[in-house]
Amino acid sequence: MAIRDKLSGNEAVAVAMRQIDPDVVAAFPITPSTEVPQYFSQFVANGAVHTEFVAVESEHSAMSACIGSEAAGGRTMTATSANGLALMWEMLYIAASSRLPIVLSVVNRALSGPINIHNDHSDSMGARDSGWIQLYCEDNQEAYDSVIQAIRIGEHPDVNLPVMVCYDGFITSHSVENIELLEDDKVKNFVGEYTPAEYLLKRESPVAMGPLDLQPHYFEHKRSQAQGMMNSKKVILDVAKEFGKLSGRDYGLFEEYRMDDAEIGIIVLNSTAGTAKTVVDDLRDKGVKAGLIKLRVFRPFPFAELGKAVSGLKALAVMDKSDGFAATGGPVFADVRSAMYDFAKDVPCINYIYGLGGRDVRADDIAKVYADLGEIAKTGKVSSTFNYLGVRE
Displacement of CA 391 from its chain's centroid (Å): 25
Cα(242)–Cα(288) distance, rounded to whole angstroms? 36
Of these, 47, 113, 114, 216, which contacts other proteins (CB under 8 A)? 216
Q: Starting from the edge strand earliest in sequence, which strands make up the sheet with 76-80, in order?
A: 52-55, 24-27, 76-80, 103-108, 163-168, 133-137, 297-299
Q: Which of 100, 103, 317, 366 binds other proteins (CB under 8 A)?
A: 100
Per DSSP, 187 falls in state H
Query: What distance in Å separates the CA atoms of residue 44 and residue 103, rounded to the nearest whole number?
Result: 18
Count of Cβ atoms closer than 10 Å to residue 252 Cβ: 15
DSSP H or E stretch at residue 340: helix 331-343
Binding of other proteins at residue 195 (CB under 8 A)?
A: no
Does 221 bind other proteins (CB under 8 A)? Our answer is yes
Nearest-approach distance from CB 97 to other proteins, in angstroms = 7
Nearest distance, CB of residue 236 and other proteins, angstroms: 19
- Which helix (H) or strand (E) covers residue 386, if one does? strand 386-389
| 163-202 exposure pattern, b = at least 16 Cβ within 10 A, e = fewer | bbbbbbbbbbbbeeeebebbeeeebeebbeebebeebbee
13 vs 161 by CB, closer to other proteins: 161
Kindly state the smallest distance separating residue 191's Cβ from other proteins, in Å: 22
Shortest Cβ distance from residue 93 to other proteins (Å)? 12
Q: Is 205 in the site for other proteins (CB under 8 A)?
A: yes
Regarding 203 and contact with other proteins (CB under 8 A), the answer is no
Measure the CA angle with vertex 267, ends 264 and 272; round to 5°: 115
**Measured from the CB atom, is 100 or 181 closer to other proteins?**
100
Angle at 386 (CA atoms; ends 360, 325), nearest 5 degrees? 80
Contact segment (CB under 8 A) with other proteins among 77-85, 217-225, 312-320, 375-383 equals: 217-225
97 counts as binding other proteins under rule CB under 8 A = yes
Query: Is residue 208 within the footprint of other proteins (CB under 8 A)?
Result: yes
Of 4-12, 51-59, 220-228, 346-354: span binding other proteins (CB under 8 A):
220-228
Please list every residue from 324 through 353 that binds other proteins, using CB under 8 A: none
Region binding other proteins by CB under 8 A among candidate stretches 25-33, 44-52, 210-218, 299-307: 210-218
Chain residues binding other proteins by CB under 8 A are: 97-100, 160, 198, 205-211, 213, 216-217, 219-221, 223-225, 227-228
